[in-house]
Amino acid sequence: MKEERRRGPFWAALALTALTAAFLLAVFSMLDSTELYEIYLWDSAKERSGWRYEILQDGELLPVEPGFADEWTAVLPGGDIQAIRMSRTMTERLSVNDNDAAYPILELEPYDSRVEVLLDGQLLAADVQGGQRDENGFLVLTERDRQAMLPEYRSVAVTMPEDYLGRTLTINVYYAQPRQDPVPPYPKLYIDQMRYASEVTASVPESAMLTVYALLTLLVLSVFALDARSGRPDWPMVLLALYFLLLFLDKAYNSTAGTLSVLYERMNLSFFTDLYIAPLFLYLALRFTGGKRIFLSASAAAWALYEAAVMYRAVRRGEVFMSLSYGGLGAYLLILLFGGAFLLEYVRRWRRSKDTRIPRSTALLTAAVAAGELIYGARQWGGGSLRDYVQVLLRSMVSELNGYPSFMPFVNFVMDICSVMAVLLLLWSFVRRTIRARETISVLSERSRLTLEGYERMLRAQEATNAVRHEMRHHMTALAGILRDGDAERASRYVAAVSSQLEQLPAGRYSPNMLVDAIAGSCLDQASAEGIAVEHSLSLPERLPIPDEELSVFLSNMLENALQACRRMEPGSERYIRVRMHLHENSLFISCVNSAADEQGERTDRRQHREDRRHGYGLEAMERIAEKYSSILAVDRRPGEFSVQSNLHLG
């Protein structure tokens, strides 16, 4: 019941945290969305927008149906086409809210052509000059007019009137030279508030992610600093922090706010494109051991240096990156290399221990992170469609993305999972170390308490012994008087009573060293009282060249573990504790051999589990002390017996 009561608040706090996280995600999702979308009036293989097409060929106007070069690209067949007429009925109503009238802007970007925009035959805009029109309504262009139509991209924007709904939009397209299978220049509808809304909403998730990257950088460095303070600096963590820092700089530089800020004007951080993942590769490489660690680290470093040189040169010259990482090939190859190394490590461990089970918590955490990355990636790459994003990932694995070689969606997906898992496992390890340290301190505090109690017991025993010695002379005088009177029976009763008092006195000192005697007396007296055979040889001087706190931790842990091991044995079995300590020159030899129960099967008792953990903490504390004094802690487990010994060099 106590365990259930303790778990109740924990699960309540966990549920509250999960609900809060879900609420924050929902708020960010709403901030990241707007009801004001740009509407693209395109015809695609999947969806038609209602366009009717006519082409001008050899002076004749012909109706045609579009064909599709791919999923999105429409082309108009018909040979040498001089002009195109596109027309449709406008049914899209755009407004900031239901009470505002809509004055949307129609925008299109023709290439190597000129356009006219008409609404019910009324000319709204034109970027081509001409005076007369032919019988089909097209402008009659002279050869000089056509020569002035240079091939270039342009943007034509037209403000639509308020009453555009239900009216026919017509776009006339003129080419400088007759075209074979031209691509129609489709327009889009928007209003100014749409652009502002899209920029604002686009900055919300970017700002949130930038905040996360900055916090992760500081978090990893904070954990590194705390570990360094405790004497266990994990230097590869600096690489993980560097990864998040470079990721922060790259995302900040390419964000909506970044491109409009002074950062974009004064600094050129395109150098970090795809290169920010190099520290993460190095961090992962250093998590391996042996030859794989050296090989993977060298491979990642060589790739990073090569890419840095090529990218720097390209940035200086204003060229396009044409290097090994073009399309993410270099990073993709490194991912395959690291995956192969992981499989080799997995096989090696399986051959060694026949047990390579991944902890359930780690597997569930990885699955949760992968699911989160799929949802996030669907918003970034797949337009919100999870199925489309999965298709993007699969295509990018074979370097085919919209006709261009690109491994980057797959690379980003894998590296994001690796980075998130690295941070989560790092934090989990830090929390476990912190909890373990607190439990160790608790155990050691309890051992110190037992040591103090043993010391107080020794003082009380010494006082009792001195009192008995003081009274012994009076007992002898009284006994002599009784014997002179010849009352043998009374003398016998008197001797029995005095002997009973002497038997109640504590045992004598175990060692001339007061601290050793106190600790040994506390544990060995309990062992003797519980029927455990005790053998001891603690030939030590009154003072030892080792701090009392270290000697106390070492000896109390050793004897307490031995006593607990004997208590766990079956009733009626042979139980014993044999302790030896002696000082030779500057070497302190310590040994303890005790009986122990044979471990059979899985232990499920919670109390037993807690005792086993305490046993482990005690051995860890003893190992640290042994290492400090240039020694090792020799632990030997045999059937029915457990032994610990060390030889501390105190000089």
- pLDDT tens for 363-394 read 788 888 888 888 877 776 655 678 888 888 88
3-state secondary structure of 105: strand
Which span out of 207-216, 379-388, 491-500 was modeled with the highest average pLDDT? 207-216
Which residue spans within 510-602 are E strands per DSSP?
533-539, 576-584, 587-595
Query: DSSP assignment, residue 547?
Result: -
Residue 4 has pLDDT above 50, yes or no: no
Identify the band that residue 573 occupies on the pLDDT scale cut at 50, 70 and 90: confident
Q: Let me know: does 199 contact 169? Beta carbons within 8 Å.
A: no
Q: pLDDT at residue 302 above 60?
A: yes
pLDDT tens-place string over residues 580-606:
999 988 899 999 999 998 764 444 343
pLDDT band, residue 173 (cuts 50/70/90): very high
Instruction: Confirm or reject CATH 3.40.47.10 for domain 510-651, answering yes or no.
Output: no
Position with higher pLDDT, 636 vs 613: 636
Q: Is pLDDT above 50 for 2?
A: no
Do 256 and 209 contact (CB within 8 A), yes or no? Answer: no
- Give the residue with greater pLDDT, 304 vs 444: 304
> Between the ranges 308-312, 478-482, 587-591, where is the mean pLDDT highest?
587-591
The predicted pLDDT at position 355 comes to 52
Picking from 104-113, 245-254, 508-517, 597-606, which range would have the lowest pLDDT averaged per residue? 597-606
9: pLDDT strictly greater than 70: no
**Interstrand relation of 576-584 and 533-539 (parallel, antiparallel or unpaired):** parallel
> Can you list the pairs that 399-403 forms with residues at least 24 positions away whose Cβ atoms lie under 8 Å?
399/327, 399/329, 399/332, 403/70
Residue 539 vs residue 613, higher pLDDT: 539
Q: Which residues contact 531 (CB under 8 A, 6 or more apart)?
A: 575
Taking the CB of residue 75, how many other CB atoms lie within 10 A of it? 16
- pLDDT score for 324: 44
> What ranges make up the beta strands (E) of 340-384?
none
Q: pLDDT higher for 27 or 488?
A: 488
Phi then psi for residue 643, to 5 deg, are -135, 145
Which long-range contacts link 312-319 to residues 24+ away (Cβ below 8 Å)? Answer: 312/271, 315/268, 315/270, 315/271
pLDDT in tens, 98-121: 444 457 889 998 888 889 999 999
Domain(s) labelled CATH 2.60.120 in the chain stretch across 40-190
614 pLDDT more than 60? no
pLDDT of residue 642: 92
Give Cα 49 distance to the centre of its chain: 46
Cα-flanking dihedrals φ and ψ of residue 486, to 5°? 80, 15
The pLDDT of residue 169: 95
Q: Which of 532, 525, 524 is nearest to 555 (CA)?
A: 524
- Please spell the DSSP secondary structure of 21-78, one letter per residue: HHHHHHHHHHHT--S---EE----SS-----EEEEEETTEEEEE--EESSSS-EE--S
Give the model's pLDDT for residue 199.
63
The least confident of 178-187, 234-243, 250-259, 466-475 is: 466-475
Tell me if 631 sits within 8 A of 649, measured CB to CB. yes
Helix, coil or strand: residue 102: coil
Q: Reduced to 3 states, what is the DSSP secondary structure of residue 178?
A: strand
CATH number of 40-190: 2.60.120
pLDDT of residue 256: 73
pLDDT band at 345; cut points 50, 70, 90: confident
Q: Over range 218-238, report the average pLDDT.
A: 83
Query: Cβ atoms within 10 A of the Cβ of 327, count?
Result: 19
Domain with CATH 3.30.565.10 in the chain: 510-651
Long-range contact set of residues 366-370: C-beta below 8 Å, sequence gap at least 24: 366/417, 366/421, 369/417, 369/420, 369/421, 369/424, 370/417
Helix or strand run (H / E) with residue 376: helix 360-380
Q: Angle at which helices 408-484 and 360-380 pack, to 10 degrees?
A: 150
Task: Give the DSSP H/E element, type plus range, for residue 86.
Answer: strand 80-89
Confidence of residue 646 (pLDDT cuts 50, 70, 90): very high
Q: If we measure between CA atoms, which residue out of 174, 172, 182 comes closest to residue 87? A: 172
DSSP-derived letter for residue 228 is H
How far apart, in whole angstroms, are the C-alpha atoms of residue 355 and residue 9?
Answer: 36
| Mean pLDDT, all residues of the chain | 79
Whether 468 shows a pLDDT value over 80: the answer reads: no
Inform me whether the pLDDT recorded for 88 exceeds 90. Answer: yes
Asked whether the predicted pLDDT for residue 236 surpasses 80, the reply is yes
pLDDT over 70 percentage in the chain: 77
Most confident of 92-101, 434-443, 525-534: 525-534
- pLDDT for position 201: 64
How many CB atoms are located within 10 Å of the residue 214 CB?
A: 15
